[in-house]
Amino acid sequence: MAGITKKDSHANAGTNTQPLLADKGVAERYGVHPSTIWRWSRGSQKSREGVFPKPIKVGPGCARWRLSDLLEYEQKSVEDV
């Protein structure tokens, strides 16, 4: 799956096996710069359609986005069109 790195797979260790994406993977998914992903996630403005998902903290200085949250955001964006 594009955008999911080996490093990201370690964030999935434990009971939750939900895929997680780093900012670079999310940026690649939407064709934007990683700083745009952070701006969207702060919610200071609407991104594309609706409110962009917030990242989850997986460790000190380490945040990831749940693939399921991104898919839900994408589905809502399609429904609004």
Instruction: Return the domain boundaries, the chain.
Output: 6-80
Which two structure tokens, joined as six digits, stand for 73?
């955001």
Please name which of 67, 11, 66, 2 lies closest in space to residue 29, comparing C-alpha atoms. 2
The whole-number pLDDT of residue 51 equals 83
Span 3-52, pLDDT tens digits: 555 555 455 555 568 899 999 999 999 999 999 999 998 875 555 556 89
Which two structure tokens, joined as six digits, stand for 30?
């939407």
